[in-house]
Structure 1
Amino acid sequence: MPRPAKAPDLAPVDMELPLWPALVRARRRLEAVRSATGRMATLVGAAAAAAGLFTGQWTGASLLADAALTLIGLGTLRLWKPDGQQRAVASVLYLAPGTSLAALLLAEQMVPGIHPVEALGLTVWTAGTWVMRPAYVGRRMLAPPPPAPAAELATLEEAEVSDHPIAQWWARTVAVKDGAAPGTVLDDIHRTGPKSMRAVIRATTPGRPVPDISIRNLSAAMDIPEDLITIGPVPGRGAGVRLLTIGNPEESEDLATVWDKRIAPAAMPGAVLTSVRAGRPGGAGHTITTTASTTTSTEEDA
Structure 2
Amino acid sequence: MSDDKTPKAANIFDVARLAGVSHQTVSRVLNGLPNVRPATKERVEQAIAQLRYSPSPAARALVTRRTRTIGLITPGISDHGPVSIAMHFNLAARLARYSVDTVSQVDSDPETVRTAVEGLLRQRVDAIVAVVTDFGVLELVRGLDITIPLVASASTARRSPRVVSIDQYRGARAAVRHLAELGHTRIHHLTGPNAATDSAERIRGWRDELSAHRLEAPDPIAGNWTAESGYRVGLTLDLEPGAAVFASNDLSALGLLSALRERGLRVPEDVSVVGFDDVPEAAFFYPPLTTVRQDFAALGRQLMQKVLLALEEGDMETMDTPLPTELIVRASTTQR
TM-score range, shorter chain: under 0.3
- Ranked by relative contact order (alpha carbons within 8 Å, sequence separation 6 or more), the top structure is 2
How does the TM-score come out when normalised to structure 1?
Answer: 0.19
Which of the pair has more CA radius of gyration?
1
